[in-house]
Chain A
C-alpha cells in the first residue's frame, strides 16, 4: 500500500478542529448525553415499558381480573410475587395491565393537550385582537380553578356518559376515555400560553413577511412556517406533561372517581388500600412505587430534553 492510497484526511491528526459542523440533532444529543440522570432514566423508562407491555406475554388480561376468594390478601409468595388483593386477584398481573392503562392515559391525554394547546396558542398568537383576548380569558379561567378540583368536577360530569370501547380486541372501560379527555382538556392552557408567546415573537420575522408576500395562506404560515420553529418548547412541555397526566390519573382514580374496576390502573389499585395499610402493605406499595418510578424517570428525561433542546428556557 503506497502512501498515495491512503486518504488525505487520515494524515491530518484529529484534534477536533476540522470536524464538520454538528447538525442540530447531534448538538441536542450531545447536550442530552451530558445529563447522566436523564440517560439513566431513559433506560429505567424503557424497562418500565417492557415490564408493562412485555408482561402481557406472560399474564393474560384474564389473569389480571381473575379472582380467587380463597386467596385473599396473601403476602407476596413465589406464586404471587406481589401478593393478592382484597378479592384474591394477583397484584403483579394487575400492575402490568394497570401500568398499560396508566401509561396509555398519560400519553394520549398529552396528545389531546398538545392538539388543543397548539391550535389555541397558534390562533391566539397569530391573529391577536379580540380572538386573542377571548381565548386568553378562557385560558386564564381554566388556570385559575385549582386543577384537581376542576378535574374532579369534570370526572363527575362525564361519568357514565361514554360507552365502553373496543380496541385491539380488548374492551376499554368508558371511564378511561373520560379520564384522557378531562386531563387533556384541563392541561392545555399552560402549553397554549407558551405557543402563543412563541408565535407572537416569530410572526414578526422577515421570512413570514416573505411567505405572506408570495401569497401563502394563513393556515400554511401558521403550521408550516411558524410551528416547526416552536417544536423545542412543545416537546419539553409535552414530555413533562406526561408525568403530570399519570399523577393526575392516579389521584382521580385513587379518589374513586376515575377509571372503574375491573379495569386496573395504578391509581385505582390503591383506592381501597388505605383500609389495609397495616395488614397488607403490598396492596399499595407496588403500584405506588411504580407510579413514582415512572413519573420520576419521565421528569428526568424531560429535564434532559430541556437542556438539550431548549437550554435558555430553564426556570430561574
Chain B
C-alpha cells in the first residue's frame, strides 16, 4: 500500500510538469498585461520596456517558464536595458512555494491573493457537497427501493432535467422566483447577490442567508447526478444473492436496507465524491459570477480577462494539484473501505 502511494505520487510529478507547460504556453499569449499598468493613461513606451525587463516579460518563453519554476534569484536583472545587470532577481519559483506576484494588483503575491478567496469558495462548496451527498443518497435509495413506481419515474425524469440544466438557468430562475417574485408578493425574500448586506455587516446570519440561493443552484444539478448513481448501485446490490439470503432469514427490511445493502451500494459513491470534489471548486465559476460571490471562480475570471498570467497560472495549478491529490486519496479510501481491493 505504501509503495502504491509512493508510486502514485511519483507519477503525478511528470503529470504536473506537462500541465504547467501546457498552461504556461497558453497563458504566455493571452494578451498584454502591461497595457493596463499605466493606470488611466496608456503606458509610455520607455516605461513599458522597463517594466517588461523588470518582470522578465522580455525573455523567451523557455526562460520565463524556468523563472516561474525555479525562480530567478540566481541571476541579475538588467532593468534599464544598458546591458549591465542592476538588481538581483527576487523570485523563488513554484518549486520553492513562490507563485510569483500578480501583474494587475502591483506586486501582491499570488498565493496571498488566492488564499484570500479560497475560504469563500470553500464556504459555498463544502455545504454544497454535503447537501448533494445527503439528498443524492436519500433520493437515490428511495427510488431504487420503489423501482418503476411513479416516484421513481418522476425522479429519473427530473434527474435528467437536473443534469441537462445549465447552471445559469437554474440560478436565474431561482433568483427570479425566490427573490424577485417573493418580494413582489410581500413574502420574506432571499438576497440574490454578494456575501452580506453592507448595512448589516458580515455576520454569520447574513452570510448564511446569502448562501441559500447559490447553494440551491449548485446542489440541484448534482443531486440529480448523484441520485442516479446511487439508484443504479442500489438496484444492483438489492439483486445480489446475499440480500436474498438476508430476506430468507427473515431479517427486518430496514436492517437489510441500511446494514446489508446500503453499505455496499455506497462504496462506488466514495469514488464519485473524491473525483468530483475538485471539480466542484471549478464549477463555481458561473455560479460565483451570477451571485457576485467573491470566490476563486470570480478571481480567475477577473484576472484572466486582464491577462494576469501569474494569478491564473497559480489558480489552475492549485486546482490541478488538488485534483491529483484527491484522486490518490480516493484510491486509498476505497482500498480501506473495500477489503477486496488490493494494490
Q: Which residues of A does B touch, CB under 8 Å? A: 37, 137-138, 140-142, 144-150, 152-154, 156-157, 243, 247, 250-251, 254-255, 257, 270, 273-274, 277-278, 281, 284-285, 288-289, 291-292, 295-296, 299-300, 303, 314-316
* Alpha-carbon gap, A154 to B22, bound state (A): 10
Q: Could you say which residues of chain B place their CB within 8 Å of the CB of A277?
A: 172, 175-176, 180, 192
Question: Interface on chain B toward A: helix, strand, loop, or mixed SS?
Answer: helix
CB <8 Å contact, B285 and A152: yes
Least Cβ distance of B10 to chain A in Å? Answer: 13
Q: Could you say which residues of chain A place their CB within 8 Å of the CB of B114?
A: none
Q: Could you say which residues of chain A place their CB within 8 Å of the CB of B22?
A: 141-142, 145
* Alpha-carbon gap, A282 to B301, bound state (A): 27
CB <8 Å contact, B166 and A148: no
Give the nearest-CB partner of A294 in chain B.
B164
From A157, A257, A278, A292, B169 is in contact (CB under 8 Å) with A292
Least Cβ distance of A11 to chain B in Å? Answer: 41
Would you list 23 pairs from A and B whose C-beta atoms are within 8 A, ordered by A residue? A144-B320, A146-B279, A146-B282, A146-B316, A146-B323, A147-B282, A148-B285, A152-B285, A153-B316, A156-B31, A243-B164, A247-B166, A251-B167, A251-B168, A254-B166, A255-B285, A273-B172, A288-B166, A288-B169, A291-B169, A292-B164, A295-B165, A296-B160
CB <8 Å contact, A157 and B192: no
Q: Could you say which residues of chain A place their CB within 8 Å of the CB of B130?
A: none
* Alpha-carbon gap, A147 to B31, bound state (A): 21
Other 20 A-B pairs with CB < 8 A, given A153-B23, A154-B26, A273-B172: A141-B18, A142-B22, A144-B324, A148-B282, A148-B283, A149-B282, A149-B319, A152-B304, A153-B304, A153-B312, A156-B307, A157-B29, A250-B166, A250-B168, A277-B176, A281-B176, A292-B161, A292-B165, A295-B165, A296-B164
Tell yes or no: B142 within 8 A of A by CB: no
Known: A148-B283, A153-B30, A157-B30. Is A299-B160 also a contact (CB below 8 A)? yes
Q: Which residues of B does A touch, CB under 8 Å? A: 14-15, 18-19, 22-23, 26-27, 29-31, 157, 160-161, 163-169, 172-173, 175-176, 180, 192, 229, 232-233, 236, 268, 278-279, 281-283, 285-286, 289-290, 300-301, 304-305, 307, 312, 315-316, 319-320, 323-324
* Alpha-carbon gap, A255 to B298, bound state (A): 10
Least Cβ distance of B245 to chain A in Å? Answer: 22
* Alpha-carbon gap, A79 to B175, bound state (A): 28
Q: Could you say which residues of chain A place their CB within 8 Å of the CB of B175?
A: 277
Q: Could you say which residues of chain A place their CB within 8 Å of the CB of B180?
A: 277-278
CB <8 Å contact, B26 and A157: yes
From B15, B29, B233, B236, A144 is in contact (CB under 8 Å) with B15
* Alpha-carbon gap, A137 to B268, bound state (A): 25
Known: A144-B15, A153-B30. Is A288-B285 also a contact (CB below 8 A)? no
Known: A137-B15, A149-B300, A157-B26. Is A299-B164 also a contact (CB below 8 A)? yes
Give the nearest-CB partner of A271 in chain B.
B168
Give the nearest-CB partner of B233 in chain A.
A316
Among A138, A243, A251: residue with most chain B CB under 10 A: A251
CB <8 Å contact, A251 and B166: yes
Least Cβ distance of B302 to chain A in Å? Answer: 11
* Alpha-carbon gap, A251 to B171, bound state (A): 13
* Alpha-carbon gap, A299 to B163, bound state (A): 9
Least Cβ distance of B280 to chain A in Å? Answer: 9
CB <8 Å contact, A156 and B304: yes
Among A146, A257, A274, A295: residue with most chain B CB under 10 A: A146
The 3 closest A-B pairs by CB, nearest first: A146-B282, A288-B169, A296-B164
* Alpha-carbon gap, A152 to B316, bound state (A): 11
* Alpha-carbon gap, A270 to B166, bound state (A): 12
Least Cβ distance of B43 to chain A in Å? Answer: 20
Q: Could you say which residues of chain A place their CB within 8 Å of the CB of B14?
A: 137
Least Cβ distance of A73 to chain B in Å? Answer: 15
Least Cβ distance of A146 to chain B in Å? Answer: 3
* Alpha-carbon gap, A179 to B301, bound state (A): 17
Least Cβ distance of B74 to chain A in Å? Answer: 28
Least Cβ distance of A305 to chain B in Å? Answer: 14
